[in-house]
């Protein structure tokens, strides 16, 4: 198993596929979901919460021939 | 701490054993649709013996159908909440580009309005795809010595 230090020693890039909280874009919908999840994990019983998002296409139409699955293979968005 | 896959039940137990007693532990499992059925089924008994533990499963829609199928098969998988995030709409994609660029580089991003529309359409509003497309576009522009 590999530990990923995702933000400490890397210059920030606007579209780097990291989980860097400094560049986390939060919409009202995301805020609402975050609050529900936090509440569920704080006081919910059972303490298991599930969050799903849309399935990413294997290859966007504009990038046929590239290898976007690198992101998934590295466990990073 | 963020760790990469693959994750097995023994891995999870080993890491939980190393946590400090009397502290709440929150485990987030990303790409959870790829977790084995055995691991998903084992989460409920694990939560029973570890009252300090909270688990957040994050994944693609396949995760929901996988959990439902296991439950219909008799597995005890109990959730307190299930949330779904939709893709960003066109305004959301514009806001995403503005925010990410302004936060990291400052100022206005280099994508023309028509390019933003195309990015929104090609990415289906999925941030992972927006990152990929914009990253490739910027690299291409750098090679060509152009912007927009």
For residue range B6-24, list pLDDT tens digits in order. 567 787 888 777 777 777 8
Q: What is the pLDDT of residue A74?
A: 42
Cβ separation B129–A14 shorter than 8 A? no
Q: Is the dihedral of CA A63, B33, B31, B38 positive or negative?
A: negative
Q: What's residue B107's pLDDT?
A: 92
> Which residues in chain B land under pLDDT 70?
1-7, 146-148
In this prediction, residue B118 carries a pLDDT of: 96
Q: Is B41 on the interface with A (CB under 8 A)?
A: no
CB-count burial class (<10 Å; 0-12, 13-18, 19+) for B78: middle
**Residues of chain B contacting residue A35, judged by C-beta atoms under 8 Å apart:** none
**The pLDDT of residue A58 is above 80:** no
| Minimal-distance CA residue of chain A relative to B115 | A62
Count of pairs with CB atoms under 8 A, one residue in A, one in B: 189
């Amino acid at each position: 198993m590999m530990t990923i230090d995702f933000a400490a020693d890397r210059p920030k890039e606007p579209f780097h596929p990291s989980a860097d909280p400094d560049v986390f874009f939060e919409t009202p919908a995301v805020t609402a979901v975050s609050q529900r999840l936090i509440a569920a994990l704080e006081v919910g019983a059972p303490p298991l919460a599930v969050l799903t998002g849309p399935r990413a296409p294997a290859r966007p139409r504009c990038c046929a021939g590239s290898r976007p699955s690198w992101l998934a293979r590295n466990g990073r968005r | 701490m963020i760790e990469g896959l693959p994750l097995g039940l023994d891995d999870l137990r080993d890491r939980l054993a190393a946590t400090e007693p009397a502290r709440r532990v929150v485990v987030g499992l990303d790409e959870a649709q790829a977790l084995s059925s055995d691991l998903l089924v084992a989460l409920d008994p694990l939560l029973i013996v570890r009252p300090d533990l909270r688990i957040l499963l994050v994944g693609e829609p396949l995760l929901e159908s996988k959990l439902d199928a296991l439950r219909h098969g008799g597995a005890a998988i109990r959730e307190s909440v299930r949330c779904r995030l939709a893709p960003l709409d066109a305004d959301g994609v514009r806001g995403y580009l503005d925010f990410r660029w302004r936060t990291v580089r400052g100022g206005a991003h280099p994508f023309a309005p028509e390019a933003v529309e195309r990015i929104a359409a090609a990415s289906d509003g999925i941030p992972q795809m927006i990152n990929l497309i914009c990253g490739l576009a910027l690299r291409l522009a750098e090679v060509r010595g152009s912007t927009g």
